[in-house]
Structure 1
């Protein structure tokens, strides 16, 4: 089966959502997804919630705070925001939601609004253990390939 051409594929928007609850609340992705579906169905009706097609793509929650990435169809962002505003509890625990921002890509959503920066990595040639070797540098960490494995190193280990 072939993929649809790009101009016929559905377009999506990704909402970065912040969650707040009591510290003893036990929230999970499935319960959060169910709460969003019920809120959308009650606010928008069956047809409207099906058109918005809200889905939770990423969910983390611990110690009363969390964040999620919610996917919505391109023309239904305002309906999605309204449905999210109607969510006041998840699995019986009171919860507060706020939309941090909206993006056209998952990566952009995570980087701009959820504080998940991409790891910048690069390779360079270094002298390590009296021989020239390949090192991978990412976020200040340096790993040197040595005898088929990697060894952790610092700037001071190089000549």
Structure 2
């Protein structure tokens, strides 16, 4: 039986203090559907520690990534996005995914990266309430919902929303309704 995401490549970012569940749950769920998920960090092969201590070894370096090699970008939360958004390559990749109309998915604090990439104006989204004002100040319309899909953007609030977050990602990637 053909898997729904067979042949798709999905990029995820990692750095220290990422939210463990927000990386691993979507990664494994997308792989289960047949996608090849590549986790990129500031250094290839480095092991990054999650907020709750779960390690993640970066498959490759962010600097070596190109948007045209992937079908989607999924950004886990935690406090890693606050560090990652300072990297020009992270902001550039995020902008390129957005401009090409590809999926940009972010959960919890991960909205910091699309904010810094300058792509939130006019989008409805959600996040942890802690970055609500940041998203509004970036021109987004913030709502308190477990899942928001607006065009090519999928967002959720926190780890409890991961089942909805993954359903939203799959819906956008497959074109199937929720």
Instruction: Give the TM-score, by structure 1 length.
Output: 0.26
Larger relative contact order (CA 8 Å, sep ≥ 6):
1
Instruction: Give the TM-score, by structure 2 length.
Output: 0.24
Structure with the larger strand share:
1
Higher Cα radius of gyration: 1
Structure with the larger helix share:
2
